Structure 1
Amino acid sequence: METTKQQQALLDYLEKHQDTHGIMPSQREIQKYFGFASRNAVPKHLSALEKKGLLSRANHLARSLRLPKKITPKNFLSIPLLGSIPAGYAETQEEEHEHTLTIDLEMLQLPHKARLFALEVRGDSMINAGILNGDRVILEQSEAYHGDIVAALIDGESTLKRLIIEHGKSFLKAENHNYPDILPLEELSIQGVFRALFRVHKK
């Protein structure tokens, strides 16, 4: 969105004042800072910024002004997209690292230090949990608990299921009644815990 030099100067002042003092300046402070002869000049400039979507406010008081949320590079993280994972019957999988997926950590409410990766879902065993074929799931390498949806390696084969822990024993449960529970014969290890998903709507 294009702005005039005066509008950009006003935006810069509002941002600096908020960062320094924790609140927005009053209209009188804005008038004094820019040396406007008339107080009517302040609401006029503020209104112009509102119309451009560069400013919002709950009422007509200057201290209710809100700047749009800044999108900064530190909020974004590129994570590896490690191929696909069956959401059906467990299958032997070879890890692929062909692509990356850029995510907004703040929007997804994920910590910056989280060890994250993504996988593309193949199958329909998790549809009752809202995870569909073709979705890309974001997973964190962290400790898993009863009820978590996990990417698991069970007896050498990978799958995406819900982790169930009962009476000290762990097994995997689908979110689709057409698939049976999967009990490990020898080994069950958790590769990642489900945190979020991305879905692309295809025409």
Structure 2
Amino acid sequence: MSEGLTKRQQEVLAFIAEHQQVNEAPPSLREVAAHFGFRSMTAAADHVKALRRKGYLKHRPHQARSLRAVPSPSTPYQPASRARIVDVPVYGCIPAGFADERRQEDVEGCISVDVDTLGVKPSPRTFALEVRGDSMIGRHIMEGDYAILEHGMDPRPGDVVAALIDNESTLKTFVKQRGKPCLKAENPKYPNLIPAQELVIQGVMVALIRKVR
């Protein structure tokens, strides 16, 4: 195992090792090619041959999925980073005292979020709302989407916020008109501006998740 690995070979080895650990079996050449976007299995096979030649993989004849990664203290591989999945509570009606009174009965469920991919910092103040209605279609926020919000952030003009109006949570764009805070719908069917002085801003949207229907 004296020969070094190219960056791509290190990535292929890490993928094979992690797949082997998680699934108790190595990936097929087709799976390697699909994972790295190779146009054919030939490229995947070439990397695997190089790893076998350099002693990082072993081939077990007469077995399906016969490759096995060979860890070595002198040439350790680094498994591909695993996504950090966090369950974010989905609230139906957010109580006015959300920060201090997160009542279990207001939670409709949880949505699992890959915080690294979305760029969201996991926090007890993070929550989600399922979008209801079409008042925000101008911002491409559709019914059935999940808005991921952070409680306690100071909204800036242009931010999408969750606000409590008539004891019901709604998503709107936070704007200022003549220095006064307002909430703006992003659909001409709805009133343009709602004064925000007496509204409770419950969170600022930090990500949006859309289910593929």
1:112 Cα deviation (Å)?
3.1
CA distance in structure 2 between the aligned counterparts of 1:112 and 1:186, rounded to whole angstroms: 30
Q: Is the 8 A contact 2:93 2:168 kept in 1?
A: no
CA change 1:84–1:199 in 2 (3 A) is farther
Residue 201 of structure 1 pairs with residue 212 of structure 2: yes
1:99 Cα deviation (Å)?
1.0
Question: TM-score scaled to structure 1, two decimals?
Answer: 0.58
CA distance in structure 1 between the aligned counterparts of 2:54 and 2:180, rounded to whole angstroms: 66
Q: Is the 8 A contact 2:133 2:142 kept in 1?
A: yes
Alignment RMSD (CA, Å): 3.6
For each residue in 1:54-112, what CA deviation from the matched residue of structure 2 results, as whole angstroms up to 9, or x when unmatched? 9xxxxxxx9xx8752223xxx22222111269xxxxxxxxx721311221211111123
Question: TM-score scaled to structure 2, two decimals?
Answer: 0.56
Q: Which runs of 5 or more structure 1 residues have no equivalent in the other structure?
A: 9-38, 55-61, 86-94
Q: Which runs of 5 or more structure 2 residues have no equivalent in the other structure?
A: 1-18, 27-49, 60-66, 70-74, 95-104
CA distance in structure 2 between the aligned counterparts of 1:177 and 1:106, rounded to whole angstroms: 35
1:45 Cα deviation (Å)?
3.8
Q: Is the 8 A contact 2:160 2:173 kept in 1?
A: yes
CA distance in structure 2 between the aligned counterparts of 1:135 and 1:42, rounded to whole angstroms: 49
Q: Is the 8 A contact 2:159 2:174 kept in 1?
A: yes
Which portions of structure 1, spanning 4 or more consecutive aligned residues, are displaced by more than 6 angstroms?
A: none
Which residue, out of 80, 92, 97, partners 1:68? 80
For each residue in 1:27-78, what CA deviation from the matched residue of structure 2 results, as whole angstroms up to 9, or x when unmatched? xxxxxxxxxxxx9854364598xxx8x9xxxxxxx9xx8752223xxx2222
In the alignment, which residue of structure 2 is the partner of 1:116? 126
1:135 Cα deviation (Å)?
0.8
